[in-house]
């Protein structure tokens, strides 16, 4: 049986975790939430959740993996068997992420390949996929993007108005050329073969990034985790030198303290922390499990958390400087061009680059940044799934060639399931995955049980002793207080608020899903959450003996005493 691997050095671990947690959400979600929820004032609830929930749970999961040297399922089995369902639940969420997150990469690859043209294909209405091109161009020439800017900035509108059904060439490229979007989820249509090929390419790259375990992953992240920063700096410098950039940045940061009275602002801050820190997804225990026993995971976690939040904050300058430029060029308010999620990446930013000189260059740089931001998040996520499975069945998979075969099987299955998301109606399925399967509600639910199992059942002091045994000192006392009081309390509050304020998903805030669509969405959400109570009941029914004795034995765990391994 092959030995379990370890990181060659601390840098590989740090870059792997950074690659996982610093992803697309830092670029397209945090800046939008910041502007939407009071600008600079949003940093107040964000930092509160960072110190009371983000850092404590981040440390908990990483230290758990390092102490047990186990993946996202068996680590919980070691310390608190009755809550092993938390591990299974995180793997369910991770499986959903493996299927749908990589689809974003295939869209970005499509845009990247489309950028190698003399004229960007989304820069005009003169393409075969554009609606009513011939007649509209004659009557409404301002529908052409290159004329649209000049027309909107002109002093006279020539008494012409934009027709109600008019749309921009950028939107048409996205919906008609890329997605081939149908009327609804009931019409999936055919597979978009170009997207299917891009998806295949993304999976091939992902496979070879992790096929040799931490030996290959640790080397790949030297490039994939650092290159996005180079691109971000380049785009930031370009953005702040554009006319209108200052207005965009001011719009991003201008504080509105009154927004703090809105509970939705606090909910957005809390869920953003859980999204961006990869908490409750099984990734952190898996990555931490490849550390040396004496690695200072406490210092690493603090550093990585601040790096993640700082990246999100700086990305806002790069994004809103460009949005400020676009708003000025079009003569509209910044609120009209500000987008979040795919709308920012595939509509707002592509619109902005068409207004810049050498637009193809800036388009390529932007989509390269997106690809590398998403790539390491994707392959580290798959690596975490593989780690969990191998640690559950070491006698089966720790044999020569078995790991590579397991990754291949996972990649093929996820690719085939992912083909549903690159059909003409696949965007509707993608939104279900994003809104329900990997929602903040699911992550909050798991976080509650994570901190209860470690803080109250296994024992916060006991876990502090374990951490001290590894790093030589006890972490800041506030972390333990958070595990016992603040983290579960705040997670429960946000979880309940998210249920009370639940609003059904609407695509583009317009399309209403059929009832069975919402049923599918909630089934995906519940499929992870039910793992926790179901596994606890299963364990109790499986074990014989008085109930009190059974609860004590399965709750406190039978943790092995780990000896400090020889340092290489």
Residue 291 domain-assigned (yes or no): yes
Distance CA 304, CA 18 (A): 7
Domain count of the fold of the chain: 1
The predicted structure's pLDDT at residue 145:
39
Contact 44/329 with Cβ under 8 angstroms? no
Give the model confidence (pLDDT) of 34-48 as tens digits: 888 888 899 999 999
Give the pLDDT of residue 509: 82
pLDDT band for 563, please (50, 70, 90 cuts): very low
Q: Annotated binding site: which residue ranges?
A: 19, 26, 276, 308, 373, 376-377
pLDDT score for 553: 62
Query: Which pLDDT belongs to residue 20?
Result: 92
Q: What is the CATH number of the domain that holds 462?
A: 1.20.1740.10
Tens-digit pLDDT profile for residues 390-447:
999 999 998 888 999 999 999 999 999 999 999 999 999 999 999 999 888 999 999 9
Q: Quick one: tokens of 142? A: 């301002």
Burial 354-372 (b: 16+ CB within 10 A, else e): bbbeebbebbbbbbbbbbb
Contact criterion met (CB below 8 Å) for 387 and 283: no
- pLDDT beyond 60 at 266: yes
Position 264 confidence tier, pLDDT thresholds 50, 70, 90: confident
Q: How far is CA 116 from the centre of its chain?
A: 28
- How far is the C-alpha of 124 from the C-alpha of 311, rounded, in Å? 34
User: Which tokens go with 78?
Assistant: 């070691």
Give pLDDT, residue 153. 35
Length of the chain: 568
User: For residue 512, what are the β-bridge partners?
Assistant: 506
Mean pLDDT for the stretch of residues 115-134: 80
SS3 content of the chain, % helix, strand, coil (to 5): 75, 0, 25
| Residue at 2 is within a domain | no
322 lies in a domain?
Answer: yes
* Full domain range(s) for residue 289: 10-121+179-556
pLDDT at residue 559 tops 90: no
Map residue 310 onto helix, strand or coil.
helix
**Alpha-carbon distance 36 to 42, whole Å?**
9
CA pair distance 507, 434, nearest whole angstrom: 12
Q: Both tokens of residue 62?
A: 């990483």
pLDDT digits (tens, 9 = 90+) for 323-339: 898 888 888 888 888 77
Helices (H) and strands (E) in the chain, counts: 31, 2
Structure confidence at residue 347 (pLDDT)? 86
pLDDT at residue 555 in the model: 59
Residue 162 placed within a domain: no
Sole residue written with tokens 């044999």: 399
Q: How far is CA 297 from CA 13, 128, 278, 306, 343, in A?
A: 10, 55, 16, 14, 37
pLDDT bracket for residue 548 (50, 70, 90): low
What are the pLDDT digits (tens) for 468-480?
A: 999 999 999 999 9
Q: How many Cβ atoms are within 10 Å of 373's Cβ, its own excluded?
A: 30
- Residue 566 pLDDT greater than 50, yes or no: no
Question: What local confidence, expressed as pLDDT, does residue 137 receive?
Answer: 45
Of 261, 256, 271, 257, nearest to 493 (Cα)? 271
Residue 532 predicted with pLDDT over 60: yes
Q: Are 429 and 194 in contact (CB under 8 A)?
A: no
Residue 356 resides in a domain: yes
Binding positions for Na(+) are 19, 26, 276, 308, 373, 376-377
Q: Which residues pair with 511 in a beta bridge?
A: 507
Helices 297-330 and 460-471 meet at what angle, rounded to 10?
A: 100
Element (H, E) at 511: strand 511-512
What pTM does this model have? 0.90
Whole-number Å distance between alpha carbons of 89 and 334: 40
The answer to whether position 517 is within a domain reads yes
CA 285 to chain centre: 17
Q: CB 119: neighbour CB atoms within 10 A?
A: 13
Nearest one of 277, 285, 274 to 302, comparing CA atoms: 277
Helix H or strand E encompassing 185:
none
Q: Percent of the chain having pLDDT more than 70?
A: 89
The verdict on residue 158 lying in a domain is: no
Question: Where does the pLDDT of residue 348 fall: very low under 50, low under 70, confident under 90, or very high at 90 and above?
Answer: confident
Give the residue among 155, 450, 51 at the shortest CA–CA distance from 281.
Answer: 450
- β partners of residue 191: 423
Residue 560 predicted with pLDDT over 80: no
As a whole-number percent, the residues of the chain with pLDDT over 90 amount to 62
pLDDT-derived band at 127 (thresholds 50, 70, 90) equals: confident
Q: State how beta strands 506-507 and 511-512 pair.
A: antiparallel
Decide if pLDDT at 70 tops 50.
yes
Can you give the pLDDT at residue 75?
A: 94
> What does the pLDDT look like over 291-306, one tens digit per residue?
999 999 999 999 999 9
Please give the pLDDT value at position 226. 92
- Is residue 360 included in any domain, yes or no? yes
Q: Nearest 5°: phi and psi at 532?
A: -65, -55
Instruction: Tell me how many degrees the CA angle 121-123-128 measures, rounded to the nearest 5.
Output: 50
d(CA 258, CA 276): 26
Other residues' Cβ atoms within 10 Å of the Cβ of residue 310? 12
Q: b/e map of 19-53 (b: 16 or more CB within 10 Å)?
A: bbbbbbbbbbbbbbbbbbbbbebbbbbbebbbebb
pLDDT, tens digit, 9 for 90 and up, residues 186-223: 999 999 999 999 999 999 999 999 988 888 888 999 99
Per-residue confidence (pLDDT) for residue 125, from 0 to 100: 80
* Nearest alpha carbon to residue 361 among 235, 538, 546: 235
């Amino acid at each position: 049986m092959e030995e379990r691997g370890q990181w060659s050095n601390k840098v590989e671990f740090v870059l792997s975790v950074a690659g996982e947690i610093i992803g697309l959400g830092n670029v397209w979600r945090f800046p939008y939430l910041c502007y939407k929820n009071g600008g600079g004032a949003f940093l107040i609830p964000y930092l509160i959740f960072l110190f009371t929930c983000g850092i404590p749970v981040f440390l908990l999961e990483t230290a758990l993996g390092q102490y047990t040297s186990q993946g996202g399922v068996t680590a919980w089995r070691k310390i608190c068997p009755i809550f092993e369902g938390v591990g299974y639940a995180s793997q369910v969420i991770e499986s959903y992420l493996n299927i749908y997150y990589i689809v974003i990469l295939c869209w970005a690859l499509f845009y990247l390949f489309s950028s190698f043209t003399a004229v960007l294909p989304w820069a005009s209405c003169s393409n075969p996929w554009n609606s009513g091109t011939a007649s509209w161009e004659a009557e409404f020439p301002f529908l052409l993007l290159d004329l649209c800017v000049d027309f909107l900035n002109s002093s006279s509108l020539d008494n012409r108005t934009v027709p109600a059904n008019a749309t921009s060439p950028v939107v048409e490229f996205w919906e008609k050329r890329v997605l081939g979007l149908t009327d609804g989820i009931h019409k999936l249509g055919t597979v978009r073969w170009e997207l299917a090929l891009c998806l295949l390419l993304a999976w091939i790259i992902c496979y070879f990034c992790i096929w040799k375990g931490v030996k290959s992953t640790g080397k790949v992240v030297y490039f994939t985790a650092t290159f996005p920063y180079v691109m971000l700096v380049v785009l930031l410098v370009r953005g702040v030198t554009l006319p209108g950039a200052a207005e965009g940045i001011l719009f991003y940061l201008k504080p509105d303290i009154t927004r703090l009275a809105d509970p939705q602002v606090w909910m957005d801050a809390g869920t953003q922390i859980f999204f961006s820190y990869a908490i409750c997804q099984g990734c952190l225990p898996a990555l931490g499990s490849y550390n040396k026993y004496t690695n200072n995971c406490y210092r690493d976690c603090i550093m990585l958390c601040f790096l993640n939040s700082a990246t999100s904050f700086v990305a806002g300058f790069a994004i809103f400087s460009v949005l400020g430029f676009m708003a000025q060029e079009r003569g509209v308010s910044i609120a009209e061009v500000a987008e979040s999620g795919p709308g920012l990446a595939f509509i707002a930013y592509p619109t902005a680059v068409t207004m810049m000189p050498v637009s193809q260059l800036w388009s390529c740089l932007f989509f390269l940044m997106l690809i590398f931001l998403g790539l390491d998040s994707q392959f580290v996520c798959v690596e975490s799934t593989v780690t969990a499975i191998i640690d559950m069945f070491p006698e089966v998979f720790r044999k020569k060639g078995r790991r590579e075969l397991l990754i291949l099987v996972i990649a093929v299955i996820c690719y085939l399931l992912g083909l549903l998301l690159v059909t003409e109606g696949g965007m509707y399925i993608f939104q279900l995955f994003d809104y329900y399967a990997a929602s903040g509600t699911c992550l909050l639910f798991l976080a509650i049980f994570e901190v209860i199992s470690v803080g109250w059942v296994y024992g916060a002091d006991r876990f502090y002793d374990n951490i001290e045994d590894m790093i030589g000192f006890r972490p800041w006392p506030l972390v333990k207080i958070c595990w016992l009081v603040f983290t579960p309390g705040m997670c429960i509050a946000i979880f309940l608020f998210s249920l009370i304020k639940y609003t059904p998903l609407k695509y583009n805030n317009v399309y209403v899903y059929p009832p069975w669509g919402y049923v599918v969405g909630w089934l995906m959400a519940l499929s992870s959450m039910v793992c926790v109570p179901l596994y606890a009941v299963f364990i109790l029914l499986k074990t014989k003996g008085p109930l009190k004795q059974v609860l004590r034995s399965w709750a406190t765990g039978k943790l092995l005493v780990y000896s400090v391994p020889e340092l290489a």
